[in-house]
Amino acid sequence: MSTTPPTPPSGKGRPRGSGGFAWRAFFHRSETPVFVLGKSRRLRYANPAWEKLTNLKLAETLGMVCSQRRHSTPLALALAPTPEALAGRPDRARRPAPPGRNGPPWWDVTFAPLAGDAAGPRDVLLTGPAKAELFGIVGFITVVGEPVPAASRKIPPSMAALRDRQATHFGPELLAGESLASRRLVAQVRFAASVAAPVWIVGEPGSGKETVARVIHHTSALRDRAFVGIDCAGLQPYLIESLLFGHGGLGVSDRIGTVYLKEPGAVPRDLQQRLADHFTEQTGTRLVCGSDHMAGDAVAAGVLVPAFQAALSVFELRVPPLRERLDDIPRIATRLLSRSIDPAALAVLRAHTWPSNFRELSEVLYESAAASATGPVLREHLPHELRVKAGLVRTPSPKALSLDAILEAVEKHLIQLALKKANNNQTEAAELLGVFRSKLWRRLDALGIPVPPQPPKPRKDS
């Protein structure tokens, strides 16, 4: 689509110094549905093609805030710009067509951020890294997908709404972040979603391999069908066989879009071969596998049949561990908790190496949020072991375990106790302790216990 670069807009979507300007000059006759959001994500303009698509009049929706808040309408959710677009980079997102429909048609929304060049009065549709101030975003909608009758048959509307929510949640923006590793991951995921090849996802335990598989599924052309995740290590082989190849199994169903095998090396080799044969022949369903090892390494180690490496790991995608994308922790934390986090607490989180990756982070965050019922999550709410690691809590130095010193202390305490009971009478104290009086004297002297004055002896009445 060709667009003439407009003059720099004001904060309300109009160019500075041209009060009568409206976006209609550019897009009114376009057959592509186009809308313009201001920098506060309010709808400033939409063309007649957009009105026709949404069955709404612009006057009714002007000023609508398009964001991914919980209470946003389905239309606002569909038009909400992605974090990439808000950061000033052009982006595209596939959204369920409102109102809350499951499956096709979908809206492919291309977001073109608008920014003023600081050097001059020229307005640009950003194509490179954004350095200038963002004035607004122009969105272009393309309707994609043909209805698949099998997808919606026999599924009640409430289920369809939940699937829509799931699809919206598992968008590429779920993986987006500030770090280079995250950007690379998002780019790879988008590429994987655009092709139909089988994918092998490799990553450390807890790094979010299944989440990545879900994002690929919900971004791909198979999104209107189901995603089936199978835990090969957790389910016995007969349960997996029954699920896929049993009577009325999912393997031959046209409802399945993506099958995700978690650790396929955990199933016996005969079942591996059967799975490999099935998914090599089956073209309608895509196979995505997740593992801690590369397919080649697993084959070399003898835990995986070669067919998985040859035909079923065409595209290998590595999920970076959390320690390689520490810059994303604030974003992940805010998304998980929907609450603010104190910068000091974030510093503690960044100092940890996260050996169990995203899984560990989410557990820590939930525990911290539970510790603070309201308000922001503070450093004090984080688990003790993290604070110790960050050097915030001093661990008590280990006490010396000198046996002689401990025994002397115990002996001293017992002698003092005996003297107290015997009212400082040393003879009685020695009897209580079961030692001779001479020994008690020696110990009093050795332990430095002051010799107490002896009580007066009772007089003998003659």
Partner 1 sequence: MRAPQLVIVEIDGWIARLLSELSAENKWLVRASRSSDNAMSLVRDRRPSVLVVQVELADDKPAALTLISDAFRLCPDVPVVAVSDVKLNDADRVAWTAALFDLGARYAVFPPLTRPVLEDVVSGLMASATRRAGITAPVAKSAPDKPKPKPRSKRAAPAEDVIDLADDELYE
**Binding region for partner 1 (CB under 8 A):** 153-159, 162-163, 165-166, 169, 205-206, 210-211, 225-229, 231, 233-236, 239, 243, 247-250, 253, 255-256, 336, 356, 359, 362-363, 366-367, 370
Nearer Cβ to partner 1 (162/417): 162
CA dist., res. 433 & res. 261, Å (int): 73
> Residue 145: is it exposed, middle or buried by C-beta count within 10 angstroms (0-12/13-18/19+)?
middle
What order do you get walking across the sheet with 315-319 strand by strand?
226-231, 256-262, 286-291, 199-203, 315-319
Nearer Cβ to partner 1 (154/459): 154
**Nearest CA among 134, 117, 44, 46 for reference residue 83:** 134
Q: How far is the CB of 211 from partner 1 (least distance, A)?
A: 7
Tokens of 386: 């993290």
Place of tokens 């309300």: 12
**Nearest CA among 220, 216, 270, 224 for reference residue 245:** 270
Q: How far is the CB of 233 from partner 1 (least distance, A)?
A: 5
Q: How far is the CB of 221 from partner 1 (least distance, A)?
A: 16
Q: How far is the CB of 261 from partner 1 (least distance, A)?
A: 13
Q: How far is the CB of 111 from partner 1 (least distance, A)?
A: 25
CA dist., res. 118 & res. 11, Å (int): 15
**Nearest CA among 284, 271, 262 for reference residue 239:** 271
Nearer Cβ to partner 1 (282/425): 282
Nearer Cβ to partner 1 (63/234): 234
Nearer Cβ to partner 1 (165/389): 165
Nearer Cβ to partner 1 (147/343): 147
Q: How far is the CB of 266 from partner 1 (least distance, A)?
A: 9
Tokens of 444: 């009093």
CA dist., res. 291 & res. 298, Å (int): 9
Q: How far is the CB of 260 from partner 1 (least distance, A)?
A: 10
Nearer Cβ to partner 1 (84/263): 263
3-state SS assignment for residue 279: helix
Cβ-contact 115, 5 below 8 angstroms: no
**Nearest CA among 78, 205, 74, 90 for reference residue 138:** 90
